[in-house]
Amino acid sequence: MVITLIIDRKNRKIKTKIVYYGPAMSGKTTTVRTLFRLFNLENRIKSLETSTGRTLFFDFGNLTFKAAEWIIEVNVWTATGQNYYIETRPTVLRGVDGVIFVADGQRNLLEENLRSWKELKNLLRDDIPVVFCLNKCDLKDIISIEEIKRYIDANNDTCFLKTSAISGINVLEAFRLLMKKIFYKK
């Protein structure tokens, strides 16, 4: 396994990069905004947006935690889901340590989720941990995790969660799960 975490022994700092990835409008930006709001840090997010509020390129923000003598800095990015900006996504994924895949849980968007998942699999090394979020679970007609698993060629290590970026359901849990996978992977 190639270790991509950046360890600065002198300043006792560990840097890690995670990316929220998924199809257009699945809720990546909303998820990250909710995550930062839960830490009272929403003003730390920098977004490059189109005039209509869609993500242009990425959103970015840092979260820092203390663990024993060490400072852990998590660089949080979202990729834009719009196909028009497809060339930006490999750049956003460069040097990533873990991915939260934000699928749109609405049943009629299965194709879009699968297309984005395939694209991610082509861009990502196999040993990078992934947490799969079936987002918008507050809406009606949401596909079940069992069902989507039949279409997704995930490895056994991938966790699946139902989330709602709007109401905050499982947003923190997904983040925590990914952190565990990054720091405790074999």
Ligand X SMILES: Nc1nc2c(ncn2[C@@H]2O[C@H](COP(=O)(O)OP(=O)(O)OP(=O)(O)O)[C@@H](O)[C@H]2O)c(=O)[nH]1
Instruction: List residues binding Mg ion (CB under 5 A).
Output: 28-29, 55
Q: Among candidates 158, 132, 134, which has minimal Cα distance to 144?
A: 134
Q: In the complex, what is the shortest distance from the CB of residue 184 to Mg ion, in angstroms, rounded to a whole number? A: 29
24 binds ligand X (CB under 6 A): yes
Give the one residue of 110, 123, 166, 172 binding ligand X; rule: CB under 6 A. 166
Beta bridge partners of 150: none
Contact of residue 136 among Mg ion, ligand X, none (CB under 5-8 Å per partner type): ligand X
Q: What gap in Å lies between CA 173 and CA 165, rounded to an integer? A: 12
Q: Is 170 in the site for ligand X (CB under 6 A)?
A: no
Q: In the set 136, 143, 161, 178, which binds ligand X (CB under 6 A)?
A: 136
Q: Stretches 64-72, 77-85, 118-126, 148-156: which one binds ligand X (CB under 6 A)?
A: 77-85
Cα separation, 31 vs 95, whole angstroms: 21
Q: Which is nearer to Mg ion, 29 or 106 (CB)?
A: 29
Q: Is 55 in the site for ligand X (CB under 6 A)?
A: yes
**25 counts as binding ligand X under rule CB under 6 A:** yes
Could you give the CA distance from residue 157 to residue 182 in angstroms, rounded to a whole number?
Answer: 12
Here the tokens at position 129 are 């941990």
Contacts of residue 109, defined as CB under 8 A and 6 or more positions apart, other chains included, come to 23, 26, 103
SS3 63: strand
Query: What residues does 147 pair with on adjacent strands?
Result: none
> C-beta of 106: minimal distance to Mg ion in Å?
17
Contact residues toward ligand X (CB under 6 A) are 22, 24-30, 54-55, 78, 80-82, 135-136, 138-139, 164-166
